[in-house]
Structure 1
Amino acid sequence: MATARLALSYGQAFVAPERHRQRSSMSVRLPEEGEPKGACALISDSASGHALAKQAGDLSVRGFLNDYYATPAHWTIKASAQRVMRALNAWCHGMTRQMEDGSYVSSLSTVVFKDRGAHLFHVGDTLVFRLRGAEFEQLSRDHVTDLGGYRYPARALGMDVGIDIDYSEWPLKQGDIFLFTTQGVRGTLMPSDYVRLIREDASDLDAACERLAEAASSRARERGYGSDPFCFQLVRVDELPDAASDAPSRLYGDLPIPPELAVGDQIDGLVVEAVMSRTAHSRVYRVRDVDTERVCVLKAPSPELSNRNAYLEHFLLQQWVVERVHSPFVVSVVEPSRSRRHLYYLMRYVDGMTLSEWVARYPRASLGQRLDIALQLGKALQALHHRDLIHQQVHPDNVLIDDQGRVVLTDFSACHLRDVDGHRRSRRLVAQVGLNEHSAPEYALDDEVGRRSDQYALASTVYWLISGRLPYAVPTHQLRSHTDLEQLSYRSVRHYRPDVSLELDEALKRALDPQRSLRFRRLSEFLYSVRPGRQQVSEAPRRSVRAWKEPANLWQAIAGLLLVLLILSWWLR
């Protein structure tokens, strides 16, 4: 006898007055059988009627669906949804701060249906109701503020740096109907109207949504406030899985750690061609797919790690972290051609050398070539920061340069989501992987870390790339207390490379400031000074200034001036 599965059906309707700008967006995703994340229904409503209102709502809905179903299978529904919503909030808030008119602020209500339960995640003033029999109940809370007779969201995506997400869970019953709508419907329909209009013909949910939209519009016109659009979405539970099927399925995180591999060994149809790295935490191999002949890099946890190791827990997140970034300067994840039977992930193979190897091979490389590499590395970090990710391990051995001179940033062992994983967790990750001479001082001193910590590591790597030295005589990763910061005295890079412009030297000094708050606010400000073209532009006038400081030139100028004064004195007699 076949085991029953969760079956849902849904309907939607939207109505808006003529020439009215749409502000809301809604969607339902019914994944295939076996999807560990369940089904999802959600609705979003922008906080204002500006030109980007619809775009803000659509981005909230599409962004949640794309990222939620891309989260690791071993994450719980609650952890997956909340992390995605916090990442969305950080992105919306960053976009809103850059805008002069309008905003990306929007309310969002999401219900995830999995097995025999429903999980609600809610911010703002969108509305979710449940109709069970004759009982009509609001599940979401209204987070609104009344200003001058108007109601505005008091908590929504993009409104602040942090966000407080309502979460609740209920058991499902067959026949439950969930209604999603927006705050604009307030004051139009009564609970009895909802029940009657839905029950008139509950078999056709699209028709039921149309009835609700028409009734709400008609009631609004009667009361003289028919300027708002109305949208309705209904989701009905048609069938529930058997209780026995609630047993957890085999998840990605339950897979065994691969054993120690050597050249010629095979795992899941991948032949090991070279052992690239063996550390206390991970193994990295160059492998070839026997089916597709594709060469890629396999990264797996070290066989010595226990299942409760903190690094192993983070390893399960690394593939998802890398998948969020799309940049030619960041290594990309490769999907395996067959299902995995061991715990690992695959990355694109970059045929090249590390930055350390490049510097050793090309000791006479020009300043312009070195700054071009620095700029590419900066763009890689920007791609991560735009997705609210912090790398935390920028140093020459984590930077590859291919045979065409393109920089590729690798190794995401300590990468984490900003404002999601927490500062203390991120420092623990770095401590597990290990500090290096390019790590910002705040890691050694257990202070707050962030994007400017990556800025320090980038600037330190650029300083080393240009001069072959470190900016401070005292290694920052060996600091023991805040009083040790007083020993850090910046050594001008121009002592080692006189051809470096004063502007770049000053930019490096600021980006390498021991105090995180005194560094550049944005990475782009530092990269502006790194561009190779700026060196050529800024050097010409400085050469003429420095020429006057040469002793021979200075005495020639003095002699010329005295000669002119002598001639004038003779002429004035």
Structure 2
Amino acid sequence: MEGVGHRPAERVVCEENALTPLHLSLSYGQAFVAPDRRRHRSSMSVRFPEPPQLAAKGACALISDSTLRNNLAKQAGDLSVKGFLADYFSTPDHWDVKTSATRVLRALNGWCFSQNRQMSDGSYVSSLSAMVFRGREAHLFHMGDTVVFRLRGAEFEQLSRDHVTDLGGYRYPSRAMGMDSGLEIDYANLPLKQGDIFLFTTQAVQGTLMPSDYVRLIREDVSDLDAACERLAEAARERAQERGYGSDQFCFQLVRIDGLPDASEDQPGRVYGDLPIPPELVPGERLDGLEVLSVLSRTAQSRVYHVRDVHSGREMVMKAPSPELSSRNAYLEHFLLQQWVVERVTSPFVVRIMESSRPRRYLYYLMAHVRGSTLTDWARQHPQASLEQRLDIANQLGKAVQALHHRDLLHQRIHPDNVLIDPHGQVVLADFSACHLRDVDGHRRSRGLVRQLGLTEHSAPEYALDDQVGRRSDQYSLASTIYWLLTGELPYALAPNQLRSHTDLEQLAYRSARTLNPEVPIALDDALRRALDPQRALRFRRMSEFRRALRPPREAGNGGRRPGERASFWQGVAGILLLLLVLSWLLR
């Protein structure tokens, strides 16, 4: 249930055992006061998923509110609610509620803040209160000045704090979504009791109704929460009009806990982490209705198989942890995130996740099967490929990496063997064994994961030196792979994975790509030199800047001539015109 406005109350119960429900059950109601819904700046929603996901992720109730003097107020309110719901229920099932919600909120805040810096008229700033009900607990995440109350018996308590700033007689929210690059989130964990009622509303309501009014109006007929919300809205509007100020931005949302699961049932649903690691498989064997056609890769961490669904005939790639891994291995913990990581990215240049036609009995995930070869094999098979062909591949690979970065993901293992090219020249980036969320506390884990998997000759120097990593680390690996594609060599005589100390950085002297391949334009060589700088801070600030330098020369647009040839041509034309002008004067 999303959006703002009046919604019919919904009651969710477990019919198998109404006295002791197997899952949480709740009811909710909504109402708002707005003459023009298109100009309403608030958004509220309740999401109650099906029982398997309900046990793992819980149910959500949210309310958001933007500032009055904001041309994008409605969009800001809707974005914060819809964005949270879309991403929270897509987080891995084995993440706890606090981890999932916090990461989603920080990623959403980062996107809103980056957009706001590019806008001069309006912003994606909004207050947000989100409550997750899972099992017998509620988790409140609060930013800004939206308001959450709890009614338990006769006790009416405000659970959220008002973060506001007075400027020129107006009260503005502080610590709100999209207001700053860093986001401070108020978090509270609350035990639930059957009959608890939670009220979500906005700062505009403050100063209208007293706590006794809320209790009385809700209790008049608690069986109909929509009617209770309407009573609250009408009473608040009348009180505001009596006091001489506007009442066109009031909204109310009530959530009542109708039933709680038994304490023994308060566990997340079974997640992939509970499944056993598949045994070693050979061609011809079957697992969950999938027949192994060939073994694509065997490493100390994983197994990759080419498989076919025996029912649909679809060919796919199965990736599973190595049977040799212990349950406490750090890679095994990360393996649980890989499918979720890839599912977040929608790009033709990134391999797609496939759904299995049968329930999984083992720990693995499925990807689309790309008919083609690795970039290493392609370069070996096409030694005479033109500069334009190679730059087209480089540009597609840049789009793949940029698609990951747009979702705050680092690939961390970009090299030719992880790049696939189909017969039509389509580039697909694969292997997400080192992919990691780019968050504040993840740098150490990111580096540790890459070092466990093993550094490659295209890894950025900061991985070997245990320095901070980020998007520019992927930029280095991308540039190193492109340099190899253009020249067949590495940009430095000493590979970065051979570095032992920061003093070794002085030995990294860039070898111009033009000395190995004279067709490489000077501008492209300079761009590669910058993207491959051993100092991370000196590389391109944004991937888009580097990608612009990868565009192949547009010969079709300049008559097939290079810049020097074009200059000579126009110089010749100018000379002929001058000669004709002189002759016309002499013949007068």
Same fold, TM-score > 0.5, yes or no: yes
| Residue 8 (structure 1) aligned with residue 26 (structure 2) | yes
Would you say the 8 A contact 2:555–2:562 is kept in 1? no
**SS of structure 2 residue aligned to 1:435:** coil
After TM superposition, give the deviation of residue 366 of structure 1 in Å: 0.2
Q: In structure 2, what is the equivalent of residue 565 of structure 1?
A: none
**SS of structure 1 residue aligned to 2:549:** helix
1:31 corresponds to which of 43, 49, 56:
49
After TM superposition, give the deviation of residue 373 of structure 1 in Å: 0.2
Would you say the 8 A contact 1:42–1:180 is kept in 2? yes
Deviations 1:76-99 (A, max 9, x none): 111111111121112212222222
| Residue 456 (structure 1) aligned with residue 476 (structure 2) | yes
Would you say the 8 A contact 1:72–1:252 is kept in 2? no
**SS of structure 2 residue aligned to 1:530:** coil
Q: Which amino acid aligns with 2:27?
A: S
Would you say the 8 A contact 2:33–2:247 is kept in 1? no
**SS of structure 2 residue aligned to 1:411:** coil
Q: In structure 2, what is the equivalent of residue 300 of structure 1?
A: 320
Would you say the 8 A contact 1:107–1:126 is kept in 2? yes
CA distance in 1, matches of 2:39, 2:352: 39
Q: In structure 1, what is the equivalent of residue 355 of structure 2?
A: 335
Q: Which amino acid aligns with 1:542?
A: G
1:175 corresponds to which of 195, 198, 209:
195
Moved more, 105-114 or 307-316: 105-114
Moved more, 524-533 or 244-253: 244-253
CA distance in 1, matches of 2:512, 2:312: 52
Percent identity of the aligned residues?
Answer: 72
Deviations 1:369-410 (A, max 9, x none): 000000000001111111111111111011000111100001
After TM superposition, give the deviation of residue 163 of structure 1 in Å: 1.7
CA distance in 2, matches of 1:512, 1:32: 49
**SS of structure 1 residue aligned to 2:425:** coil
Distance 1:297 1:138, change over 3 A: same
1:21 corresponds to which of 39, 64, 71:
39
Q: In structure 2, what is the equivalent of residue 374 of structure 1?
A: 394
Aligned length: 547
Would you say the 8 A contact 1:90–1:388 is kept in 2? no
Deviations 1:447-498 (A, max 9, x none): 1111111111111111110111111111111111111111111111111111
CA distance in 2, matches of 1:330, 1:12: 41
Q: Please, what is the CA RMSD of the aligned residues?
A: 1.9
| Residue 154 (structure 1) aligned with residue 174 (structure 2) | yes
Would you say the 8 A contact 1:44–1:126 is kept in 2? yes
Distance 1:19 1:313, change over 3 A: closer
Distance 1:124 1:505, change over 3 A: same
Q: Residues 217-296 of structure 1: matches in 2 within 5 Å?
A: 217-226=237-246, 228-247=248-267, 249-296=269-316
Q: In structure 2, what is the equivalent of residue 563 of structure 1?
A: none
**SS of structure 1 residue aligned to 2:233:** helix
Deviations 1:515-573 (A, max 9, x none): 111111111111111111357779722357899xxxxxxxxxxxxxxxxxxxxxxxxxx
| Residue 445 (structure 1) aligned with residue 477 (structure 2) | no
Q: In structure 1, what is the equivalent of residue 491 of structure 2?
A: 471
| Residue 85 (structure 1) aligned with residue 105 (structure 2) | yes
Distance 1:502 1:536, change over 3 A: farther
Q: Which amino acid aligns with 2:468?
A: E
Would you say the 8 A contact 2:237–2:247 is kept in 1? no
Q: In structure 2, what is the equivalent of residue 125 of structure 1?
A: 145
2:519 corresponds to which of 499, 517, 520:
499
CA distance in 1, matches of 2:535, 2:221: 66
Q: Residues 90-105 of structure 1: matches in 2 within 5 Å?
A: 90-105=110-125
Q: Give structure 2 stretches of 5+ with no counterpart.
A: 1-15, 570-588
Would you say the 8 A contact 2:38–2:74 is kept in 1? no
CA distance in 1, matches of 2:114, 2:351: 25
CA distance in 2, matches of 1:162, 1:175: 37
**SS of structure 1 residue aligned to 2:60:** strand
Distance 1:463 1:546, change over 3 A: farther
Distance 1:545 1:444, change over 3 A: farther
| Residue 113 (structure 1) aligned with residue 155 (structure 2) | no
CA distance in 1, matches of 2:37, 2:316: 53
Moved more, 530-539 or 273-282: 530-539
Would you say the 8 A contact 2:409–2:438 is kept in 1? yes
Q: Which amino acid aligns with 2:34?
A: A
Q: Which amino acid aligns with 2:563?
A: P
CA distance in 2, matches of 1:485, 1:468: 23
| Residue 407 (structure 1) aligned with residue 424 (structure 2) | no
Q: Which amino acid aligns with 1:540?
A: R
Q: Residues 31-70 of structure 1: matches in 2 within 5 Å?
A: 31-35=49-53, 36-70=56-90
Moved more, 45-54 or 252-261: 45-54
After TM superposition, give the deviation of residue 248 of structure 1 in Å: 5.2
CA distance in 1, matches of 2:539, 2:565: 29
CA distance in 2, matches of 1:264, 1:346: 18
**SS of structure 2 residue aligned to 1:532:** coil
**SS of structure 2 residue aligned to 1:306:** coil
Q: In structure 1, what is the equivalent of residue 562 of structure 2?
A: 540
CA distance in 2, matches of 1:318, 1:504: 34
TM-score, scaled to structure 2: 0.90
After TM superposition, give the deviation of residue 52 of structure 1 in Å: 2.1
TM-score, scaled to structure 1: 0.92
